[in-house]
Structure 1
């Protein structure tokens, strides 16, 4: 005989409270395990395919690890140094960019932007603030995220946790399944399958979309000759999982930098004024790169890799990221998407149960 509903609700409420308390108090301690678990979850289908191809689980994990190490070494040698350099250069260039914007506004709206106006002073202060805060941000990242302890966490603990969890993934899922309450096992399994489908579609699929688009933007912008093309592509690809936001932010940043770089100017060379024409073709190419990226994302990448039945509305996703990020910090942002997916699946199941109940259908229809 099953436990009363009230008593079951009490137990599940306590379990939920314990889980949230663990996130609150442990915080950074569980960060490597969260990252390791996420990596293992994303790589488990690859390991399963290698097993079906005839490899043992150990051999499959070894192959995945060797490929991951090779990719990581290539990133360290080829991409990351350039990314850091362009980020620092962009921060240093930001005041000059705002200074040119200020001069352009003064030329177009002289009555609004004189030396004593508030808008003039604000634009000048924005450039100085970005440079000072940007320097503080870089220094903070170097002193904290690149500290010895965090380096060990990122380079040693996370990969080790991911390898062990990937190696024992099937055993862990079997043990969790064995611990499920028998009275509700089929319902929980059905919910778990829906959650797994949602997470697989969103995290694995959208992660691949972000990687493909970020690589495309970075390579295309660098070929187009845009300064800081790598960092713009990295930013655009990183936030592509939020529909339209990645392309909007990356497009505005790229076009703004293109205007700054290719807009005509007048310089004094050897005592004579030299005028440079605006390169509209380069500016149009940069804008076209993001237009093509949006076409590829909306018509090819997202339908093929993510699908249309993910069930995570952009507003719900932003809300989950904001709430969990503010409550639990960086760890909360990492678990926001999985928990949002779980809540969404459970909510849809609850709506289905409600519509099948007498509370929704009424006594007469129930009879």
Structure 2
């Protein structure tokens, strides 16, 4: 018993040490695991249908996804680039209009002064610093994206290899419970990811059709932003609605209530009806736990922490349920008999 506890404490201590010294590394590795789960969710059924090895199905799905993304970028780049330029040109006027609406509040004079065309002109040194920081940040982000892609491809192609390596760190008596925990985490991530992908697609299409019907400019760009922000439950839809509200206010203030109603309807249909139907076999993360996870990871780890807070919370709750509640608090024999774990 002491030997089992020692191996568990050593493993948890190693994870805690890496989280303390290099938390971004753990987030990137987790993002790679999440991508691997997504690739296997589509690749394994495809491989079985084509009578191929599982890793070939994962490779085919990854290749098809890259081709689809490339085609979207190829055909949509010019339109999105033009809309992005229009958005950039409209942003100062939108902010000035917002400052006018808030002119009676404290700090309105500062906003009006700094959001004027003259106040928004940066100096040469400031522009150079911003450009260098932007280049450095872009290169770093591209490097992280490439690393996540490689991790997802390697782990998705042969997860058994990495599963055996993780279980080898535990004593033999803990390995069945460790395998059950990994299975529960993978199952929870698959259900959560499926629900999120479905919800993001619905949000993008629904938002685009609504904004297009209302005549709001940059409908495609705003819909894509809404779909991307939809990856972050609760907080994401609010952030995605802000640009659309600002653009609508700059064009016609009477459109603002309709845009708010559109996003409110989209969020309620997606969050309360469609996504729960897709995730009915997965454990839902309680809203308070999700908001707390987003606040915790956002404070310590920035945007990447907020982006991955929901799947981390889903995986953590699955691990706690199987390894702690069913494995320690309750009687393991009873939980095994009831089918709560599958060793």
Q: How does 1:1-367 map to 2 (within 5 A)?
A: 3-4=1-2, 8-26=4-22, 33-53=29-49, 54-79=51-76, 82-83=79-80, 86-87=83-84, 89-104=86-101, 112=104, 118-125=106-113, 127=115, 139=131, 142-147=134-139, 150-151=141-142, 154-155=145-146, 157-174=147-164, 176-177=166-167, 180-218=170-208, 220-222=210-212, 224-263=214-253, 280=254, 286-298=259-271, 300-307=273-280, 310-329=283-302, 332-333=305-306, 336-348=309-321, 350-351=324-325, 353-354=328-329
- Distance, in Å, in 2 between the alignment partners of 1:125 and 1:20 is 48
| CA displacement 1:240-264 (0-9 Å, x = unmatched) | 355444444444542342232124x
| CA displacement 1:46-65 (0-9 Å, x = unmatched) | 12101221223343133213
1:72: how far off? 1.9
Specify whether residues 12 and 337 from structure 1 end up closer, same or farther in structure 2 by C-alpha distance, changes over 3 A only. Answer: farther
- Distance, in Å, in 1 between the alignment partners of 2:232 and 2:144 is 28
Give the secondary structure class of the aligned counterpart of 2:45: helix
Give the secondary structure class of the aligned counterpart of 1:146: helix
TM-score, scaled to structure 2: 0.74
- Distance, in Å, in 2 between the alignment partners of 1:137 and 1:333 is 27
Task: Say whether the 8 Å CA contact 1:217–1:233 is kept in structure 2.
Answer: yes
Specify whether residues 288 and 356 from structure 1 end up closer, same or farther in structure 2 by C-alpha distance, changes over 3 A only. Answer: same
Give the secondary structure class of the aligned counterpart of 1:230: helix
| CA displacement 1:58-94 (0-9 Å, x = unmatched) | 4313321331121121232244565455455434433
Give the secondary structure class of the aligned counterpart of 2:115: helix
Task: Say whether the 8 Å CA contact 1:243–1:314 is kept in structure 2.
Answer: no
Q: Structure 1: state its 5+ residue gaps.
A: 107-111, 264-279, 358-367
| CA displacement 1:92-125 (0-9 Å, x = unmatched) | 433322322344566xxxxx47xxxx44314415
State how many pairs are aligned: 325
Give the secondary structure class of the aligned counterpart of 2:314: helix
- Distance, in Å, in 1 between the alignment partners of 2:99 and 2:300 is 39
Specify whether residues 184 and 132 from structure 1 end up closer, same or farther in structure 2 by C-alpha distance, changes over 3 A only. Answer: farther
For the aligned residue pairs, the C-alpha RMSD in angstroms reads: 4.0
Larger Rg: 1
- Distance, in Å, in 2 between the alignment partners of 1:37 and 1:314 is 24
Task: Say whether the 8 Å CA contact 2:59–2:157 is kept in structure 1.
Answer: no
